[in-house]
Amino acid sequence: MARRDTPEINAGSMADIAFLLLIFFLVTTTMNVDSGISKKLSEKPPPDYKPPIIKEKNIFEVNINRNNDLLVEGEEMKVEDLKEAAIKFIDNGGGIGKPGEDGTPGTACDYCEGERSESSSDHPNKAIISVQSDRGTEYGTYIKVQNELLKAYTVLRNRLSKQRYGMLYTDLEKRYKDSRGSDKEEFKKKVEDIKTSFPQIISDAEPTSAN
Amino acid sequence: MSKFKKKKKGLPAVNTAALPDIVFMLLFFFMVTTTMRETSLQIEAPSLPSATEIKKLEHKSLVSTIYVGKAKDTEKFGTGYNRIQLNDKIATPEDVPTFILRAREEVSEAEIPFMTTSIKADKQASVGTITDIRLKLRDVNALKLSYSTQTGADN
């Protein structure tokens, strides 16, 4: 009683099945990397907190109304011009900066290339950008404004980084992320240096509401 | 003599036995990389604003997402662009702290300061809604925030 050979299973259509599954997963896969404008919120102030008195000239006021129009330092402005205005304000360097945490007195901004006007900001680390928007402002406009302000900082940081380290700040940051070991420490120091030279101080004022 | 005349005509068939293997390999790659959306959107997919100065969000497990946009169920929630979705239902800003605290339970304590909240809001949403969310986030000390955007053209 010899056993009969089992007939071979035809595997010709296996590829078809696999292709079908493959195409299904190809279509459903989304490889989107989540990205966005990152922001660090300030901590909730204690109830008896008194806000520090800040000189008017160190505040760059941006107002957005409910019709998505911009009012910058009391003047109407287009979103496209905001970057230049912000650069001019941050880079002014008209006075001395904030004293260091260890008590060292503040120094004048020696890397600023602005007009050093008396009526504009003293130092990049004192320059505060305050964005006030209406409750009815469109979110898209709000993001556009934030983006323009961040662009201004990027321009300034790139400029300083080019002068000090011969490469753009954006490249510096990338190198810092990719580097390993002792290089990382070195790049970290450089990144921190640029960051503290032009700190991003953008505050969101409580929105106004007409109703 | 006839032996010389026997010439084989036509190309030999290409061996396709290894084809399924290749396809399976690709299949497994995509199966592994696919992430299914775990929450179904109750609002219409928001059209995100575009920006250039953006940072990538790292550590997906530490990101909790809040959606803001127009509800799909317009009869119940109206046609405004200011509906908030937490997890898989429409909520109000008052529910945000609970949402964040829930999310915190799932990660270890050391990682809590690195948790980020990503707001995926429609371009047409209003800043008031975003501010409400922001204030609630500040109440529970969830200070890292990311406004999700598309990568826009540099201009």
Domains in chain B: ranges and CATH: 50-151 (3.30.420.270)
Asked if B27 lies within 8 A of A14 by C-beta distance, the reply is: no
Per-residue pLDDT for A84 more than 60?
yes
Does B66 lie at the interface with A, CB-CB under 8 angstroms?
no
**Taking residues B19-28, what's their average pLDDT?**
83
State the nearest Cα–Cα gap between B6 and chain A, in angstroms.
31
Q: At what angle do helices A182-197 and A169-178 cross, to 10 degrees?
A: 150
DSSP code at position A41 = P
Q: What is the mean pLDDT of chain B?
A: 81
Answer with the residue of higher pLDDT: B41 or B97: B97
Per-residue pLDDT, A102 = 67
Hey, what are A152's tokens?
A: 């201004």
pTM over 0.90: no
Closest CB to A151: pick one of B30, B52, B141: B52
Does B36 lie at the interface with A, CB-CB under 8 angstroms?
yes
**Lowest mean pLDDT segment, chosen from A54-58, A150-154, B16-20, B151-155:** B151-155
Q: Which of B60, B64, B117 is nearest to B87 (CA)?
A: B64
Per-residue pLDDT, B122 = 87
Tell me which residue has tokens 């949403």: B125
Instruction: Compute the distance between CA of residue B78 and CA of residue B42 in angstroms, rounded to an integer.
Output: 13
Condensed to tens digits (0 to 9), the pLDDT of residues B86-130 reads 887 888 888 888 888 888 888 888 888 888 888 888 888 888 888
Per-residue pLDDT for B61 more than 50?
yes
Asked if B127 lies within 8 A of A40 by C-beta distance, the reply is: no
Residue A20 CA from chain centroid, whole number: 43
Closest CB to B126: pick one of A31, A137, A204: A137
DSSP code at position B112 = G
User: Cβ distance B120 to B108 under 8 Å?
Assistant: no
User: Cβ distance B44 to B124 under 8 Å?
Assistant: no
Helix, strand, coil abundance in chain B, percent, nearest 5: 35, 20, 40
User: Cβ distance A122 to A115 under 8 Å?
Assistant: no
Per-residue pLDDT for A149 more than 80?
yes
User: Cβ distance B146 to B65 under 8 Å?
Assistant: no
Instruction: Compute the distance between CA of residue A195 and CA of residue A158 in angstroms, rounded to an integer.
Output: 11
Per-residue pLDDT for A158 more than 60?
yes
Instruction: Please count the helices (runs of H) and the strands (runs of E) in chain B.
Output: 5, 8
Asked if B30 lies within 8 A of A19 by C-beta distance, the reply is: no
pLDDT bucket at A211, cuts 50 / 70 / 90: very low
